[in-house]
Structure 1
Amino acid sequence: MSGPSRSLWIYGAGQPISSVRNALGSATGQSASFAEIVAIVDAGIIDELRLGDSPVRLVATPDGDDSGLLNTLLSQTPSDWIVWLDAASQLVPGANSTLGRTLGRFDIDLFYGDTQLADGEVARRPAPSPIRLLSQDYLGAMRGFRVDSVRAVGGFRPGLGGAHRFDIALRLAADERRVLAIPEELSRSQGAAGAPTEAHRRASADAVAARGVSAEVSIAGSALRLRYPISGAPLVSIVIPTRGGRATIRGAENVLVVDAVRGILERTTYAPIEIVVVADDATPQAVIDSLVEVAGDRLRLVRWSGPFNFSGKMNRGAVHARGDYLVLLNDDVELISADWIEVMLGLAQQPGIGMVGTLLHFEDGTVQHGGHLYRDSWAGHIAFGWQPGRDDPLGSLGVDREVSGVTAACAMISADTFWEVGGFSTLYAGNYNDVDLSLKVRSTGRSIIWTPHARLFHFESKSRVATVVPEELATIRRHWGTRLLNDPYWR
């Protein structure tokens, strides 16, 4: 066996004998052997699984808490690694050989890989994503734990039956640098992942507390929902560039910026906000008057006299903003989530997070923005044009998650971070300004989070004609090169 020694644990509690047999067949059929294969199964099927010359060790799960059994196996294993496989899945041919070639090259505590699905799709898993893992066990039914590391964190905890693999992963993934996503298909699965249980909720809540973070963790359908309380009551400056344009929305003519500001002030549940409107000289006086009437002393009006330059306008607005946090916002939006500021601010205040973006919908309800997607030297939007309810095999549109970038149509960033990275580059007057800002934020080591729990309509391109200037495309490629080739968070 090449590489560090590996024990395979097939966890089959509650699984039918046919699933366990398929998992065992995939394990014993590997071209590279495991140091040991342990099948943890219900006592009632052990006799039917026994084969005289089988290398598999069959262990019966106890009634009630199985943490004691798992810790006994942990103390007895001769291997450097535990490869955990749920019995509803199988290893693909050659998976163990891949692990042998890979694991010795990296000083890590946890690994996972891609999964072949029954419908022919492949669940391609993202790069290590600490915020996402707190809400969703996206690692799949097969993952590996370094034995010494599992022992160091105290082994398997009692009271977490059905969530042991999630709990161990959370504790080992506290440092994302010690987690490896192997971009190869290592397993295949016959069904979707089950819904989280109270044990999963408890594991996530304990992981949050261990990191010194306060959050309310609840079960929300197919994932967990974390609500991060806000520290203090910081002023949030909502910076909106405008020309005072009009558009027909739902059959009625709207003054975009006036309706956006009115909706924000009428529906936003977070009180300490100010509205910073950066208005071109061409903005009609009637629009200015309406803004003053709607926003009163919460309005800070800033003039822009130069040629159109989105970046320049946003920078000027940020100069005049008094808030500790900036919301970068287009004028062609409408709130869906009244608590949008609380959701973004709770995330933005978490350690290591540099910027937060939201779920944006077109007027017809289809998705406009699920995070930035950087691929093949282009920048686009994840889930662009998807119908409501559509999702990828991992359920990515239902959870807070790390992304490569977010659109400046709606994003929150602390004022300190905004100025630390130099704000928007005025080289990008119309396009890629938010791509450049996102990559600058990530280059500081901070992460960018997209959340589905703050939602807005974005009537994109209603306020101007969206065109790509070749010079801007050439500039973003020149500045960021390989960072635009492959997106680690959306494969």
Structure 2
Amino acid sequence: MLKPAYDPVLLTGVNYINHFSIYRRSRLHEIGYLRTGYDGSQDYDLLLRYLEGLPDNTVLHLPYPAYWWRRNGHTYSRKFMDAATANARKAIVERFERQKQPIRVEEALTNTLHRVVFERSETSWQKISIIIPSKDSFELISRVLKDIFEQTDYPNFEVLVIDNGSSDKAVLDLYEQYRKTQPTFSATITPEPFNFSRSINRGLRAAKGEHYLILNNDVEIIEPGWLKEMVACLAFEGTGIVGAKLLYPNDKIQHAGVLVGFGGLAGHWYMNKPKDFGGPMNRLHVRNSMSCVTGAVMLISSDCAEAIGTFDEENFAVAYNDVDYCLRAHKAGFRIIWTPFACLYHHESVSRGSDKSGERKKRFEREKDNLRRLHGTQTFEDRAINPAYSRDKSDPKILMPTKLRIPSM
């Protein structure tokens, strides 16, 4: 069980830190040590209280194999495990109550994983500007607009389609129909070569919402609560960007977060795994802090957008603009969260096509070079993954013990 660096968001979903930890005695004395009434989860309660309010960089993670733990965990009765889970959730609720955040805790796929649900009224949801770059592709744009207006359970949003030159009459008629029937809809057509970053920047400048959602036109909405879940994640302190779980149409994983350093660049981990695949410590069943998430479905807080500015139209016109933006946000101190509780289909690059030939391939290679040059991705140490995992493919494997970097004593 090779763990990532300290992640307070992940810790609210599962006690991944567990037993082997060293605490400063003075702080233990301050918070009150272990408490009664938390049998089976007293270590979890202690961690939540001890770490509360501490900056991430003050919690040191030694990412090396340091002890052996039993492989078979079936040493407790079901009654004991149920009580331990109830006590864990009590500790989570109390942690947020101390921060004046009313929540409830639900099961996240299994009864030992947790989902924090932030309690809020229907009138408290901030206005979201949904920005959709598009051109022609009637089947895609008509589906995503229908999904937004008819399936999405969110009370306060506007939709801005940023079109770089549609000529399809069906698409133009569709825009006109939505202009007449949906006061919160707009479509701006500017004939020009496709530049994803430029389209997003046009949308950001025109947006009137409190936060901004970038949405590809080749996305298909599965469940109505997806946008509420993404906006709710902004309640985690310091969060600037939120990403969603994306599936291919065959129900295999397309996006569960982006790890920096794969292949010297950045890539999605655990692509093409079954949709219910949990990954190490079942991390793909709970929220995680990541270094990057995909721009196909990306929520950006107003604070983050104001601090980071626009997308880079020159260096990342089509590829890696999301990685660049996330890494700039990361360096500025914003948290980036991936959540499995907002799940959508992604028909990846259906409308735009492939980057594997001709001028597109040349542009793609330039943008890869720009990512390496600007962010040093060849040597980037991504805190979201233990360094003992391989970085050469999206399905990381644990390196052989002889290849692990064990510190000398």
TM superposition shift of 1:482? 5.0
Matching of residue 240 in structure 1 with residue 118 in structure 2: no
Do the aligned partners of 1:229 and 1:346 also contact (CA within 8 Å) in 2? no
Letter in 2 for 1:412: L
TM superposition shift of 1:313? 0.5
Q: For 1:455 and 1:219, locate their aligned partners in 2 and report how far apart those are by CA, in whole Å.
A: 17
The root-mean-square deviation of aligned C-alpha atoms, in Å, is: 1.9
Q: For 1:284 and 1:241, locate their aligned partners in 2 and report how far apart those are by CA, in whole Å.
A: 16
TM superposition shift of 1:190? 2.4
Residue number among 294, 307, 310 corresponding to 2:193 in the alignment: 307
TM-score (structure 1 length as normaliser): 0.70
Q: For 1:202 and 1:261, locate their aligned partners in 2 and report how far apart those are by CA, in whole Å.
A: 40
Q: For 1:353 and 1:484, locate their aligned partners in 2 and report how far apart those are by CA, in whole Å.
A: 25
Letter in 2 for 1:400: R
Q: For 1:381 and 1:404, locate their aligned partners in 2 and report how far apart those are by CA, in whole Å.
A: 11
Letter in 2 for 1:432: Y
Q: For 2:305 and 2:120, locate their aligned partners in 1 and report how far apart those are by CA, in whole Å.
A: 20
Do the aligned partners of 1:404 and 1:488 also contact (CA within 8 Å) in 2? yes
Residue number among 47, 65, 73 corresponding to 1:185 in the alignment: 65
Q: For 1:258 and 1:480, locate their aligned partners in 2 and report how far apart those are by CA, in whole Å.
A: 37
* SS across alignment from 1:346: helix
TM superposition shift of 1:230? 4.7
Q: What residue in structure 2 maps to residue 401 of structure 1?
A: 288
Do the aligned partners of 2:129 and 2:209 also contact (CA within 8 Å) in 1? yes
Return the structure number with greater relative CO, CA threshold 8 A, min gap 6. 2
* SS across alignment from 2:280: coil
* SS across alignment from 1:316: helix
- Aligned pairs for 1:376-387 (under 5 A) are 376=262, 377-387=264-274
C-alpha offsets along residues 112-142 of structure 1, whole Å, 9 cap, x if unaligned? xxxxxxxxxxx22111101111121011342
Residue number among 380, 394, 402 corresponding to 1:485 in the alignment: 380
Structure 1 alignment gaps of length 5 or more: 1-122, 247-254
TM superposition shift of 1:147? 2.7
Matching of residue 149 in structure 1 with residue 38 in structure 2: no
Superposed structure 1 runs of 4+ greater than 3 Å apart:
191-196
> Cα distance 1:359–1:484, how it changes in 2: closer, same or farther (>3 A)?
farther
> Cα distance 1:322–1:292, how it changes in 2: closer, same or farther (>3 A)?
same
TM-score (structure 2 length as normaliser): 0.84
Q: For 1:483 and 1:203, locate their aligned partners in 2 and report how far apart those are by CA, in whole Å.
A: 40
Matching of residue 260 in structure 1 with residue 138 in structure 2: no
Q: What residue in structure 2 maps to residue 226 of structure 1?
A: 116
Residue number among 134, 151, 159 corresponding to 2:37 in the alignment: 159
Q: For 2:303 and 2:162, locate their aligned partners in 1 and report how far apart those are by CA, in whole Å.
A: 20
> Cα distance 1:283–1:434, how it changes in 2: closer, same or farther (>3 A)?
farther
Residue number among 325, 330, 341 corresponding to 1:437 in the alignment: 325
Q: For 2:169 and 2:7, locate their aligned partners in 1 and report how far apart those are by CA, in whole Å.
A: 48
Do the aligned partners of 2:265 and 2:377 also contact (CA within 8 Å) in 1? no
Q: What residue in structure 2 maps to residue 455 of structure 1?
A: 343
Structure 2 alignment gaps of length 5 or more: 74-80, 356-360, 387-409
Q: For 1:358 and 1:281, locate their aligned partners in 2 and report how far apart those are by CA, in whole Å.
A: 28
Matching of residue 390 in structure 1 with residue 277 in structure 2: yes
Q: For 1:329 and 1:283, locate their aligned partners in 2 and report how far apart those are by CA, in whole Å.
A: 21
> Cα distance 1:126–1:146, how it changes in 2: closer, same or farther (>3 A)?
same
TM superposition shift of 1:282? 3.1
Q: For 1:373 and 1:325, locate their aligned partners in 2 and report how far apart those are by CA, in whole Å.
A: 25
C-alpha offsets along residues 276-308 of structure 1, whole Å, 9 cap, x if unaligned? 001122342321211332463221112232211
Do the aligned partners of 2:216 and 2:297 also contact (CA within 8 Å) in 1? yes
Q: For 2:196 and 2:150, locate their aligned partners in 1 and report how far apart those are by CA, in whole Å.
A: 27
Q: What residue in structure 1 maps to residue 103 of structure 2?
A: 215
- Aligned pairs for 1:97-108 (under 5 A) are none
Q: What residue in structure 2 maps to residue 18 of structure 1?
A: none
Q: For 2:24 and 2:377, locate their aligned partners in 1 and report how far apart those are by CA, in whole Å.
A: 32
* SS across alignment from 1:419: helix
- Aligned pairs for 1:18-417 (under 5 A) are 123-174=1-52, 175=54, 176-191=56-71, 197-220=85-108, 221=110, 222-230=112-120, 232-245=124-137, 255-294=139-178, 296-376=182-262, 377-417=264-304
Count residues with an aligned counterpart. Answer: 361
If you compute each CA radius of gyration, which structure gives the higher value, 1 or 2? 1
Percent identity between matched residues is 29
> Cα distance 1:259–1:219, how it changes in 2: closer, same or farther (>3 A)?
closer
Q: For 1:470 and 1:200, locate their aligned partners in 2 and report how far apart those are by CA, in whole Å.
A: 48
